[in-house]
Structure 1
């Protein structure tokens, strides 16, 4: 456990805020994005909003680096060695990175140091290790001919990431992109930019050549310029469904670049009478909806439960709430920090108030709190009596709120679970193997958990169905997103 007084560190810390392009910090002109910390509204260093012309400079640097083959042309063993060093450097700077993200987006120092940042570093190492374990293919030979199927880098990759898991989201995008030999232009969320700049500095230190990994700061306009760029070969996005749809439009209206989107979710957590694991189910649900103030795309925010076990399960879930009460994220014993902004806090408050006005009841929580004066904090909340047609049950609010929907049987549970535009994740809890298999096969979600939630790892893909997006993060399958598949047909005699 760290003994550093992070509050003292925070008072004197001055982050680097300039974009990093072609191996150098870039002094942008024009508009600034004004920043305050959600912890206590303290002023933070503003970031530049890069315009189309400035994004073009970053893309040109990435293209020049790619064409030079300074990275893509390296032997796999050398590329792997550099990515290993990159991962190690991130772990060596965990405190600095944690403080940057804590101040900007309010997540607790503890969770950043012992979860987000090590997990991001491990992801980079995982993809580096996979480099020489993934093979190309050869088509069945026939007389006088041979077909090979090879994967080649896309070229210049644009990546746009959200603020809720800054280091993990960064790694899920840049690690496979770099592993495949691409050059990258990363646009981090304006609410969590500082750590991305620092990571780009560490990439240079590790030996990734200038121009191969660039970071551009800004807001949605900067992201639009990147997604619309005619010389970007692929755009990879994690964020809201609404913005994801815009990204697809930008890609189509420009050069029909490759697109992968990991968008929103409203994940069902089905608990059936046949489950005898209610205590563990309550622990799993609490962690994956209250952790990080509920700002999790796959948050288990819809509890779909049979009436006979509802009272027992809710009592167990309520007991878990004490572990997820928000507190000052700069204290090392805090597990849940602030919401990303007061605007996000207001959004959650409004959704809960609207649900109560429509007939839902507050079983636990339901209020904004101030463990730190002027901070953006919200209690872990349980709402009962929720109907599946209420906005609280259908829209992604990105807050620590569980909506409880009672159902009579398994068939209704599946029906309610699938009655949403989203399809990111889901869970079913039952001790009956046949029921588990049947329900899992019927749920329309990219990841279905059976008697578990959020326990998957880097070996399996993560991504959604329906309006939760297209394409996958993690696993060897995601590597192919950052590559073009080429067939070469040989005729010989």
Structure 2
């Protein structure tokens, strides 16, 4: 039994087979039970297929516009974005872009449902305007020419509103209650869900709280005299009630969110409503349960049976959550409601685990495993009655039939369905079981707010493996729909999807993904923090090298080059792979160094360590291919032509302070893998990190005479780059220093040596009116302010379409206000210090100038020391920003939709070409921007930092660098020379191979 002070713990991403084994052993029921399940499920499926709904629902839409078709995908994107576009020009471009992707003109409507017919007619008519064509009598062609763009816009918007009106019960709670009123017969059960994204700002959170509070009051007054569980309810989203609902902000969340949730729960108790806390992403599960447990423990909620929460069966910890909740109920002597769902963000969870390099997935990778686990969870919940009141949310006929069989005749549970879905299935169920309770989960909110919700429902239920999609397809045999999940899985070894690699195997067989830590797993985070805290760190000053020592290092490296260049590519690669292994093994040590010397937050330090390991493994894999074997070239018979790559000699690697481990090791390992010896000069601010990295490479197998560390400031760098014996320079830093190095190299006599430079940029992002404001906010705040804005790729200049600029800027400023600035060793810190006082002074001077020349939208406050708070300024013209501002300062410019080309020209005029962000749902717009601007890395509808090695090779052109891209397939060759060896194999008397060949 849990103690309130003992938080929920369970393995975050256990092995699928270990979970599947016991589930498979207990999955099958007795033959009579299985036969009853078949009969019930068959009857329900036949009802779904026979239904002739004059209005129509999700099933009808999926039959008409399958998501495997271009029309289905275009419809999804239109539904997600069109209604939030305020201006006609952008709306017209968007409609033309999406309707041009499918064949809506010749789409033959297969449905008799009004919703489907009306939507198909409106979209088809709109498509005819965009792609006009004559019908045999010419009527349609003449009609659409007269209608023109305004009518197209109106028709398409109306089609989207029609869909939205069907899937959302009401735009206000009053409208929803009116639609929910019984017209005849039994009073229906509803759980109202106030639509909206998670809060990004304090004002968002207050608005959602007020909406919940108002809805509880309105629902309560209209609830009548029915007892629980036959009373209406409301679902609340914790991330809507707090702008930083995240694990690293746990202390703040518990202090601020628990009172808010308790307040709402007390209001719900006053009307004896069902009050359900919705489930969120896997990394928020432990935090959610902490908040729920602390709220439930309040004595004011005693005697109320309406508090509940949702549990996701696709999460591997679902059964453990049920046991924890049951323990809370027993400990507090409460009855609780539990809504069991299958889960709504499976694709996001898969991607997130891959990006984070976890050992496994927190969710099942096969749909049948989720279905199997759902039944196991249902059985567990039913066994916990009456302390737990189970609520089974599903549209799967086989799942419904199985739960019915497991439940027996004792009652004490209910089914749930989404409004707009499952009507036929549950109407049949009600006919067959009149006393069976079913609650409708009903979204409430504006059509603009429903967009993301609607698209998610369509995606979930339109997927090939979805029961709703399969049941809607008459070609799918009944036997296939009745196949048990346990029979699909069959054996534990098949529990994991064969085409979805584990996160660590994402890049297999070429290399292993770097290993991350999930902060949402309390045990993993606490263990990491304890190890970091225990790390001793030597921060005593390191003396700068003298010019004589720098010259000596070059001479020693020149001597070491001969042996290292002759070392096989396999041996060199093995040393790099061993370095990656040692990095991960000593992660706490390097993270501690990155925090204490580099001012990195925990998240940034871990990301940098992973990037460093990725560089080692990626260049090892690339090196084996490029340097391991010679490449045979084509040529005439009797002749051998072979191309090989060889090291150049001594490379000088000059790295920056903003990525003192990842860029340092990336430069050094690339040069070493190519067969060069290296003299590495780190930034003067971070020499200790470099020293530890060099020691690690030496331990991993790189000879001491092949890799030398020289510390110091720019003067020592100048000595190294001017040395006559160097064969190349790899540099990351400012454009000005890169120019200086280039001039130095050009002025020297002797061989012409390469400069591989990656410099900064006035990096821009363009957000048009089709972009989702919450997504833009997340990506802007991350891109502009993470790492205190001290990234080469950081966002400096944001262009926002003026029609949506006020709302977006307000939201971005509000989100920035919620960031915590301070000690980077504090896990809750979002923004640490800038690198030194000199950097702070430059930033403070720029901020002071901007306050006189630009409109200030936000100015954060920072503690004493080398801290600079986020600032947001609006410029009248992009030309006002003439240089890179290396810190947490965002500059915003509004633009008119018809003036997009002017914006692109302004970006091009800067001369930089490092990173670019684009937020738009219009593919033609994205394509035009990408084609117009020569930028190294373009990120569409996501943040623009954190390039992953081998996935997003990083580097720019123009004033932003020389290329080739670091972490890309062309990088290593730049560190090498090419040699072609041609041998006349016929010289010794003739071409024996040709003469001996058969006809």
Query: Could you say which TM-score interval applies, normalised by the shorter chain?
Result: 0.7 to 0.9
Q: Choose which of 867, 883, 904 in structure 2 pairs with 1:395.
A: 883
Q: How does 1:91-490 map to 2 (within 5 A)?
A: 91-112=584-605, 114-134=606-626, 136-254=630-748, 255=750, 256-273=752-769, 275-322=770-817, 324-358=819-853, 360-365=854-859, 369-370=862-863, 374-390=864-880, 393-409=881-897, 410-452=900-942, 453-454=944-945, 456-459=947-950, 460-471=952-963, 472-490=965-983
SS of equivalent residue, structure 1 residue 389: helix
Q: CA offsets, 1:373-414, max 9 Å, x none?
A: x42111112111342222xx2211201011001111321221
Where in structure 1 are there 5+ consecutive unaligned residues?
16-44
Deviation, structure 1 residue 322: 4.2
* Shift in alpha-carbon separation, 1:207–1:6, aligned structure 2, 3 A: closer
Equivalent in the alignment of 1:28:
none
Contact 1:239 1:263 survives alignment (8 Å)? yes
Q: For 1:278 and 1:489, how far apart are their aligned partners in 2?
A: 61
Q: For 2:547 and 2:573, how far apart are their aligned partners in 1?
A: 33
Higher-RCO chain (CA-CA 8 Å, sequence separation at least 6): 1
Query: Larger C-alpha radius of gyration, 1 or 2?
Result: 2
* Shift in alpha-carbon separation, 1:458–1:6, aligned structure 2, 3 A: closer
Contact 1:461 1:477 survives alignment (8 Å)? no
Deviation, structure 1 residue 418: 1.6
Q: Which moved more, 1:99-108 or 1:129-138?
A: 129-138
Q: Choose which of 68, 76, 79 in structure 1 pairs with 2:569.
A: 76
Deviation, structure 1 residue 444: 2.5
* Shift in alpha-carbon separation, 1:8–1:65, aligned structure 2, 3 A: closer
Which TM-score applies when normalising by structure 1?
0.86
Q: CA offsets, 1:39-74, max 9 Å, x none?
A: xxxxxx32322232111111112111111x2x3323
- Give the helix-richer structure, 1 or 2: 2
Deviation, structure 1 residue 342: 1.6
* Shift in alpha-carbon separation, 1:441–1:261, aligned structure 2, 3 A: same
Q: CA offsets, 1:439-481, max 9 Å, x none?
A: 1111121112222323642224321111111022111211111
Paired residues, what number?
Answer: 451
Q: For 1:318 and 1:59, how far apart are their aligned partners in 2?
A: 50
Contact 1:105 1:341 survives alignment (8 Å)? no
SS of equivalent residue, structure 2 residue 705: coil
Q: CA offsets, 1:262-310, max 9 Å, x none?
A: 111111101122x233322221121111011101111111001210121
SS of equivalent residue, structure 2 residue 757: strand
SS of equivalent residue, structure 1 residue 62: helix
Q: For 1:442 and 1:236, how far apart are their aligned partners in 2?
A: 29
Q: CA offsets, 1:170-199, max 9 Å, x none?
A: 122112112122111100000111011011
Contact 2:665 2:693 survives alignment (8 Å)? no
- Give the strand-richer structure, 1 or 2: 1
Contact 1:153 1:483 survives alignment (8 Å)? yes
Give the CA RMSD over aligned residues: 2.0
**Alignment of 1:14 onto 2:14:** no
* Shift in alpha-carbon separation, 1:47–1:202, aligned structure 2, 3 A: same
Q: For 1:389 and 1:417, how far apart are their aligned partners in 2?
A: 9
